[in-house]
Structure 1
Amino acid sequence: MPDRDLGTDFLSALFETQRMLRQLADKEARHLGMTRAQWAVLAKVERNEGQKQAELADAMEMAPISLTRLIDKLCDSGLIERRNDDADRRIKRLYLTDAARPLMAKLAVLRADLVQVAFDRMADQDMHRLVDYLETIKSNIRAALAPAAGKTKEQAYG
């Protein structure tokens, strides 16, 4: 067997896993009449109700106009509401509506089902170890993306 390229194998497995997980999430979200993107917005708002729309766009790494369209649709569906900020009326803060709560419970079940599919035939300790490794990888990448404190480009890369 030829030598395997660990870097290629890692990236290929990670990207393919992410793509397939997105496909499965899309499929499951359709059962509730929504998209994976709408599901993601609802989940982020639920975790941090009262956040500004701009903060949500940053957290989701989305263009503000794309997020605005999603939020408009969720508002029209009665799932999210925009409220004025107490200190600055130009700022809109996002909240789930009471009508969204039963849907969020259904989405929690779907999320648990997705996790169950992903972790099928894995021991609990392996699942925890995998998550820990992915968190370490994420932290390493975040550090690589952060600008080097006080260094010029030449100092940081050369």
Structure 2
Amino acid sequence: MNKPFDPTEPSIGFLLYDTARLMRRDFDRRAKALGLTRAQWSVLAHLSRNEGSNQAAIADVLDVEPITLVRLLDRLEEADWIERRIDPKDRRARLIYLTAKARPILAEMQILGAETRDLMLAGLADSEREALYRNLIQMRANLANALKNPEQNPGPAAAAPTIREATNA
């Protein structure tokens, strides 16, 4: 079901990116009163699901440079939102944990996140929401698999037109 390239229609990649961007901006607007930056709430949200992660894993998931994350963690630690503990398996590494101070803010962040999701999904029936989730999960799995196994997914098929060819057609 591949449609021909139409430069007047936004691509799925652009729609996904722009929707995620607008979600972050709406959440930022709601979370402003909490006194957290986007980067800070991203770390706290990740830790709420993956407490005890090491700095390298957090940097990878958040797609930031390790030095950027270290500075961010320094500020979170100074504000008593997180604590670093020595990794019992590697004394050079530190594992990151939430503090008691961070726990109440996570509940507030979940409420704000639910408000943003409700706004974004307004007008979609429950069945459409479920289909959207299933499809996004499948798309994410496809891309994650391609990144884990690049030899199985080397790139575009030889017969696929390049962007230049598609736009000149």
Q: CA 1:87/1:145 → structure 2, altered by over 3 Å: closer, same or farther?
A: closer
User: Which one is further off, 7-16 or 122-131?
Assistant: 7-16
Cα deviation per residue 1:49-100 (whole Å; 9 max; x = unaligned)? 1111111111222110111111111111111000111232211000000111
Q: What residue number does 2:6 align with?
A: 5
Q: 5 Å matches for 1:132-147?
A: 132-146=134-148, 147=150
Q: Unaligned regions of 5+ residues in structure 2, if any?
A: 159-169
What is the aligned length?
A: 153
Q: What residue number does 1:99 align with?
A: 101
Q: 20, 24, 29: which is aligned to 1:22?
A: 24
Q: CA 1:148/1:119 → structure 2, altered by over 3 Å: closer, same or farther?
A: same
Distance 2:5 2:27 in 1: 31
User: Which one is further off, 136-145 or 76-85?
Assistant: 136-145
Q: CA RMSD in A?
A: 2.5
Distance 2:64 2:83 in 1: 19
Distance 2:62 2:18 in 1: 21
1:109 deviates by: 0.7
Distance 1:139 1:33 in 2: 34
Q: 31, 34, 44: which is aligned to 1:32?
A: 34
Distance 2:49 2:11 in 1: 34
Higher-RCO chain (CA-CA 8 Å, sequence separation at least 6) = 2
Say whether 1:66 aligns with 2:68: yes
Q: What residue number does 2:49 align with?
A: 47
Distance 1:47 1:144 in 2: 25
Distance 2:18 2:96 in 1: 33
SS in 2 for 1:92: strand
Amino acid across the alignment from 2:87: D
User: Which one is further off, 20-29 or 100-109?
Assistant: 20-29
Distance 1:49 1:15 in 2: 27
Q: What residue number does 1:148 align with?
A: 151
Overall identity of the aligned pairs, in %: 37
SS in 2 for 1:90: strand
1:8 deviates by: 3.5
1:4 deviates by: 8.1
1:139 deviates by: 2.1
Q: Unaligned regions of 5+ residues in structure 1, if any?
A: none
SS in 1 for 2:142: helix
TM-score w.r.t. the length of structure 2 is 0.79
